[in-house]
Amino acid sequence: MNEKENEIIDPSQEQDDKDNTVSTEVSPESEADTVTSETEEESVDPTPTAGENEGTADEPEVVYRWSYAEQLAADRSEKASSRRRGVVTYAIVMTACFAVSFGILLAALFTGWDGPLSFGPVLGNSSNQNGSDRIIYVKDDYEGSGVLTEQEISTAGNPVVVGITVKTTLGGGVGTGIILTEDGYIATNSHVVNGAKSITVRLYNGQECTATLVGESEMDDLAVIKIQAKGLPTAKLGDSSKVLVGDRVTAIGHPAGLEFGWTATYGRLSAVNRMVKIRDNDGTMSKKMLLLQTDADVNSGNSGGPLFNDRGEVIGIITMKLAGDYEGLGFAIPISTAVPLLNALINNGTVADVQSQVSFARATLGVTGVYVEKEYFYVLTETGIARLTEEQAAQTEGSFRPGATGVLVTGTAPGTDAVGKFQQYDVITAIDGKAIDSFDAMREYLYDRFVGDTVTLTYDREGQSAQASVVLVKTE
């Protein structure tokens, strides 16, 4: 690329040049006047002819024509010439506009210009209404920036990815891992190696090694395994706190077993800081995880494998995908929040002393209860609560009719903030002012809260309404 191609075209300078060029041109009218003047000067005859002396010298000469055909032809010629000049002018203006736009595009793409481009005043709905320019930032995707092609990411990423084969009492499975250290520490998911009787690692060069479990955190779905090796290639870890929606990503793993090992899939980050609720088989939420979301295709064999950014850095550890009739909804543990946990597993075999920013335990009130309606009679049993008819209630010892509809308190958990604030048979009717119309509704409301949050409960006790503030506790 020569220096001329690296220049950024200045539209104002180009317009000045065009203006200067136009000002030096001679218009057709001026040119015609000049020719006529010269012709008249050359055709002066000092000898007067008949009729020339009639009238005064100042009277204009009258030209008589037998026909207007000659004039009409001249008029048509002038109009055609005017149209041609208009077409030429339009072509010149459009060519200049295209040249300016193309020049700016070339400058942004090939010269490494990572500054702002100004596109005039901000119009329409915008938070910037003070007449300043709209600023558009151009990513420094150019030679020397560190940005890699998909082929380069796969070439650099494959050697730091391993295949993991696990045998358990229930069978076995295949997952993926990431080489963290030259001497064989490998990161993966807890659900890949949990309950394993044996773990085998296959390196990119085909070598197979026996691995041991160093430590795992089921809550964070992270684990570290170890093989005996030296001089292994290691993954370059990125900064997941700086990623943005739309960033280009690559996943490498074993989506259908080792037969399809080191499969690379490509996509974009669809969301960052996505709070995902993990539920048990009965629908109860067990925890929440703060994850990256991607539309890169991932499947069960990708679990524990890397999610690379466009510089070949690991920004996430693939952990799950949304099941069911959905496509392009994969999730990864952000590497920046995973590193403290992985270090703890390597050094201590546990994450007990680390405050996790990956997973969050389900928050509870510290009370046990069951949903009741004030129109019915009930009796507490060893297995729960039973609803009775009025006749049954009259014959059943311990039967009662609640004073309100809501969650009936059957007990409080020792050591929680609820102790001493609630009694058996209190009925919680609202939480933070939101009426409780089912037990599931209250539970779902708490799923959006965190351990340590404070909620205000409205409850009924023997027909009297009252309120109490309770600090939410971790599920045991």
* Active site positions, annotated: 191, 221, 303
Which residue shows structure tokens 């496509």?
327
CA 208 to chain CA centroid, Å, is: 37
Query: In three state form, how does the secondary structure of the chain look?
Result: CCHHHHCCCCHHHHHHHHHHHHHCCCCHHHHHHHHHHHHHHHCCCCCCCCCCCCCCCCCCCCCCCCCCHHHHHHHHHHHHHHHHHHHHHHHHHHHHHHHHHHHHHHHHHHCCCCCEEEEEECCCCCCCCCCCEEEEECCCCCCCCCCCCHHHHHHHHHHHEEEEEEEECCEEEEEEEEECCCCCEEEECHHHHCCCCEEEEECCCCCEEEEEEEEEECCCCEEEEECCCCCCCCCCECCHHHCCCCCEEEEEECECEHHHCCEEEEEEEEEEEEEEEEECCCCCEEEEEEEEEECCCCCHHHCCCEEECCCCCEEEEEEEECCCCCCCCEEEEEHHHHHHHHHHHHHHCCCCCCCCCCEEECEECCEEEEEECCCCEEEEECCEEEEECHHHHHHCCCCECCCCCEEEEEEECCCCCCCCCCCCCCEEEEECCEECCCHHHHHHHHHCCCCCCEEEEEEEECCEEEEEEEECEECC
Which residue shows structure tokens 């006790």?
461
Q: Which helix (H) or strand (E) holds 294?
A: strand 285-294
